């Protein structure tokens, strides 16, 4: 029987529509928007490994993060790629050790408020990668990858930006007291780090007591505005970096003092983000990740946090300086209540997200690993040896459970670097506090780690540091 052409066309169109319901639609190299997860990264500043309830803190109350961990996955061995702010943030966004892009320096450990440099334009960020896949991209909070307009988030793949260009202590008022005492005084007049929207300063002297709430309002507005399309939100909190400030709703409420107040407000903020996702029916379409840029700033006593049983804190390559909380949440995808004992790190985010959205990562050498099999409970991953850098110097290396220290140095106070020959060797499964040196009993392990370091160094090409040059003061 011969059917009219218009009938044949109608039947074919119906079949195409039917099968399109079951198969991912392809847009060029891209999967259909509905099949791509939203991505949210929430990043604390100087939060220690032991500062959350779900990581064992006895008095800081973090019910929202504890619930996030209970509904998702908590890593026990999750790392920042650096021990201080700027290099750790560069590594998170690029999936690369900062030594590869000049975002580290041995003397100037972070970008300052007079730095000329910033994240190089040729670095591909998570935002740029996702923007090419049709994502809306937004950033809220602390950037610290270059404060000049040409270095700000809108020039690195972000459609919108609201936040501070660097740490909240980097522009003290001229009449602020000298010395570290000013960090312990709750006086917002001492600090003048500006607020930026896009690339323009909108407030020269914001009230830092309101920062966490304002960041949260911006994040919630972004989610609601972009809910009908895939989006990426990078929310990098200013706190608990000193000086510490909390809003009236949280100030004086924590049994853990001001530091506890500040962390409790961060926890509230995480709760607001997750509740917004639930209210907008986005929770099964959104992966949320929470971590910290480095360990706690221990030199600030009660205004610094805790690394739990780990050794040292911010500024060091001991475990307390670089092992941080790592929580992933994606209802229906990440097994609820799971605890992951395999290692993960912030450099894993870019390759993992790339795998989830079918994005290419061939243009630059990555140091992270796609950990989707760990997150989704579908398998294991092969991880390269992990390098601990302090500035441009490689201080330590982890291979499996073993960590060898080739150089050790206390975090702050102008200590001398101490070369270790033979290297100090610790089994992090047995001794996460790095107390018992096993070097004399494990020469084969040290030999394997030396070879791993040698191979890694062969892949690193010298580049110009972005942290060294500063804006020259004009003479009158």
| Residues that are catalytic | 85, 144
Q: Is 33 helix (H, G, I), strand (E, B) or coil?
A: helix
Angle (nearest 5°) at CA 328 between 322 and 332 = 165
Write b or e for each residue in 58-82: b if 16 or more Cβ atoms lie within 10 A of its Cβ, otherwise e.
eebbbebbbbbbebbbbbbbbbbbb
DSSP 344-376: EEGGGHHHHHHHHHT----SS---S---HHHHH
Q: How far apart are CA 422 and CA 206, in angstroms?
A: 51
Contact 418, 408 (CB under 8 A): yes
User: Which two tokens mark 151?
Assistant: 């270095």
CA-CA-CA-CA dihedral for 203, 207, 213, 217, to nearest 10: -20
Q: How far apart are CA 191 and CA 198, in angstroms?
A: 22
User: Which two tokens mark 282?
Assistant: 């986005």
Contact 391, 109 (CB under 8 A): yes
Q: How many residues does the chain have?
A: 476
Which residues lie below 8 Å from residue 109, measured CB to CB, with a gap of 6+? Answer: 84, 86, 87, 315, 391, 467
Name the residue with tokens 């379409």.
285
User: Which two tokens mark 257?
Assistant: 């003092």
Q: Which of 76, 112, 104 minimizes the C-alpha distance to 88?
A: 104
Contact 88, 346 (CB under 8 A): yes
Q: How far apart are CA 230 and CA 243, in angstroms?
A: 36
Q: How far apart are CA 233 and CA 138, in angstroms?
A: 5
Q: Is 200 helix (H, G, I), strand (E, B) or coil?
A: strand
Q: Is residue 320 classed exposed, middle or buried when 0-12, 13-18 and 19+ CB atoms within 10 A define those classes?
A: buried
Residue 204: count other Cβ atoms within 10 Å of its Cβ.
10
């Amino acid at each position: 029987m011969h059917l009219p052409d218009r009938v044949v066309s109608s039947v074919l169109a119906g079949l195409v529509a039917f099968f399109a319901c079951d198969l991912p639609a392809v847009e060029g190299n891209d999967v259909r928007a509905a099949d791509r997860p939203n991505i949210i990264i929430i990043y604390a500043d100087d939060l220690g490994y032991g500062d959350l309830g779900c990581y064992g803190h006895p008095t800081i109350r973090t019910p929202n993060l504890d619930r996030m961990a209970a509904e998702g996955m908590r890593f026990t061995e999750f790392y920042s790629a650096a021990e201080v702010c700027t290099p750790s943030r560069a590594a998170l966004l690029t999936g690369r050790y900062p030594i590869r892009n000049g975002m580290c320096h041995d003397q100037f450990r972070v970008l300052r408020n007079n730095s000329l440099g910033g994240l190089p334009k040729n670095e591909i960020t998570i935002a740029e990668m996702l923007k090419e896949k049709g994502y809306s991209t937004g950033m809220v909070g602390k950037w610290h990858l270059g404060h000049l307009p040409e270095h700000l988030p809108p020039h690195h793949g972000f459609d919108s930006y609201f936040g501070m260009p660097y740490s909240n202590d980097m522009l003290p008022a001229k009449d602020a007291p000298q010395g570290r005492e000013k960090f312990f005084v709750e006086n917002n007049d001492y600090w003048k780090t500006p607020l930026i929207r896009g690339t323009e300063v909108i407030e020269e002297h914001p009230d830092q007591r309101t920062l966490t709430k304002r960041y949260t309002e911006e994040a919630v507005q972004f989610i609601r505005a972009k809910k009908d399309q895939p989006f990426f939100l990078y929310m990098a909190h200013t706190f608990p970096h000193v000086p510490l400030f909390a809003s009236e709703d949280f100030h004086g409420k924590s049994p853990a003092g001001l530091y506890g107040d500040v962390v409790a407000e961060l926890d509230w903020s995480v709760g607001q983000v997750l509740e917004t996702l639930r209210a907008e029916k986005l929770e099964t379409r959104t992966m949320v990740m929470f971590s910290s840029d480095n360990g706690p700033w221990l030199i600030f006593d009660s205004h610094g946090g805790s690394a739990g049983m780990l050794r040292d804190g911010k500024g060091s390559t001991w475990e307390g300086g670089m092992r941080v909380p790592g929580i992933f949440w994606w209802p229906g995808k990440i097994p609820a209540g799971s605890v992951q004992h395999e290692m993960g790190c912030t450099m894993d985010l870019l390759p993992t997200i790339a795998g989830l959205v079918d994005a290419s990562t061939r243009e630059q050498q990555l140091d992270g690993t796609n950990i989707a099999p760990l997150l989704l409970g579908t398998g294991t991953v092969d991880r390269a040896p992990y390098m601990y850098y302090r500035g441009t110097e490689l201080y330590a290396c982890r291979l499996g459970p073993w960590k060898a220290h080739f150089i050790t140095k206390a975090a702050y106070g102008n200590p001398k670097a101490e070369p270790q020959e033979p290297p100090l060797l610790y089994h992090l499964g047995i001794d996460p506090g790095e107390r018992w040196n096993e070097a004399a009993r494990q020469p084969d392990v040290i030999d394997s780690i030396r070879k791993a370091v040698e191979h890694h160094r062969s892949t690193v090409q010298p580049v110009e540091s972005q942290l060294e040059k500063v804006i020259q003061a004009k003479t009158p």
